[in-house]
Amino acid sequence: MIPDRPAPPASLRQRRREQHSAANLISLVSAVFLLVVGGWYVLSYYQDVQLSSRVLSSHRGTVTTLAWSANGALLLSMDDGRSGGDSTRSTVIVWDAVSGEKLCELPTRGMFPEAAALSPVGDRVACAMRDPAMDSVSVIGFFDARRGTLLREHRLRTGPVSRLLFSPGGKRLAAFSDAVLVWNPRTGALVDSLRVNEVLYGFDLAFRSEGALPAAGVRGDTIVLRDVLRRTRRTIVIPGMAESGRTAFSADGARLFAATGDSIFVYSTDTGARLSGIAHRGKGSGTLLVARDGSRLLLCEGVSRIELVDAATAAVIASFDGGVTGGDGALRAVFAPDGKRFAISNAFDGSVRVCDAATGRVTHTVRHRESMLESRDGDCMIAFPPTGAGLATARKDIRIWKLD
């Protein structure tokens, strides 16, 4: 016969009850924490989806170009085609931005699209394509924006085309490769060309009018300011440009902004005269963006920091790092066409912050996710419609967001 085990002392029973109670409490707190965090994540995801008025999906690769027509009726997108393992699978699509309907996909016929642009009135699409069979040949094609039919094309021996730009009235198209080429989109005729016979850093161009096309680049401490159509060339020497300088045109092409590590200057593109100069302590090289009225600047320090700066006083209004979630993601920024808002996207988590340009205050935050479990799936393109009242974001899918 096995004797009964003596009962544990009362103090031991009390200690075990306390341990069990503590363990139960920890389990309960953990469960509540996981429930709250999981619920917040799911709720934030579905809130993002509900904020999106349209989801457009037809791209195989990551979207690299996103642009609106001047009336906001059409949206142009181009991808890199990488998901198919073949760059010639890149697609260029025109969408009805109101209904979300896919209007057409441009027939690139096995060629690799390099750049695309939508005319201001939305009737033409220009697309620069590289022929894989002849690497030194680029094709400039003009397409009907709604039907996608090829209207005319021109083959030329030139380097890769990095940018296409329509004039405000849509009467001229500028293409930049190792030369600046200007076309008449209606007739397809080459109007003018200028070969850039010097190595220039940060080369950029902006239409001043139908007959004026300022272009600028940096060589050492010198800004080379040209007008492609007027055939003028000026040089502006600014100490410090070689180390940390960057330039950008105003929206109307009338002014050229130049930022160094310690100053911000403004020049007239018509005369090259300096309009203003003010001290500003920057932090290295990057890109420079100018609001439409020229009152606000975005100084992008590399890819991880952006400053909103008052162009008149050089005061830093707000600064933005990494991302909403503290990630160390590359940042992309863009001003709304009216200059009242700007947006910053973070490649780390797909978050996009929409901010008031006057104060730098974040007014909206959205996250572009292809699915609820995907958060790190590449850079996020952003583009405001002409009114600035909405926002388009794109990776492989395109989302059009409604903003109050």
Phi-psi region of 66 (alpha: psi -120 to 50; beta: other; left: phi over 0): beta
Q: What is the pLDDT of residues 42-90, one digit of tens each?
A: 444 444 444 556 778 778 788 889 999 988 999 999 988 765 445 556 7
Domain that holds residue 333: 22-56+293-404
Quick one: pLDDT at residue 179?
A: 84
CATH number at residue 381: 2.130.10.10
Whether residue 242 is contained in a domain is answered as no
Whether residue 318 is contained in a domain is answered as yes
Whether residue 99 is contained in a domain is answered as no
Quick one: pLDDT at residue 75?
A: 94
Whether residue 304 is contained in a domain is answered as yes
What the block records as the tokens of 385 is: 């419609």
Quick one: pLDDT at residue 47?
A: 45
Q: Residue 304: count other Cβ atoms within 10 Å of its Cβ.
A: 17
**Strand-pair partners of 104:** 94
* pLDDT of 117 over the 90 cut: yes
Whether residue 357 is contained in a domain is answered as yes
The count of domains in the chain is: 1
CB 246 within 8 Å of CB 252: no
Whether residue 115 is contained in a domain is answered as no
Whether residue 131 is contained in a domain is answered as no
Pairing of the two strands 362-367 and 381-383? unpaired
* pLDDT of 396 over the 60 cut: yes
Q: What is the pLDDT of residues 240-283, one digit of tens each?
A: 776 667 889 999 999 999 988 788 899 999 999 999 998 887 66
Q: How far is CA 230 from CA 168, 171, 212, 271, 273, in A?
A: 17, 16, 6, 12, 17
**350 versus 108: which is more confidently predicted?**
108
CB 129 within 8 Å of CB 89: no
Pairing of the two strands 274-279 and 163-166? unpaired
Q: What is the pLDDT of residues 193-251, one digit of tens each?
A: 888 766 677 788 999 999 999 999 888 888 999 999 999 999 999 887 766 678 899 99
Question: 206-239 b/e with 16+ CB inside 10 Å = b?
Answer: bbbeeebbbbbbbeeebbbbbbbbeeeeeebebe
What the block records as the tokens of 116 is: 């695309």
Whether residue 38 is contained in a domain is answered as yes
* pLDDT of 357 over the 90 cut: yes
Percent of the residues in the chain that have a pLDDT greater than 70, as a whole number: 76
Q: Is pTM beyond 0.85 here? A: no
Radius of gyration in angstroms for the set of CA atoms belonging to the chain, rounded to a whole number: 27
Q: Within 13 Å, how many C-alpha atoms sit on residue 307's CB side?
A: 18
At residue 12 the predicted structure's pLDDT band, cuts being 50, 70 and 90, is low
- Average pLDDT on 375-404 reads 82
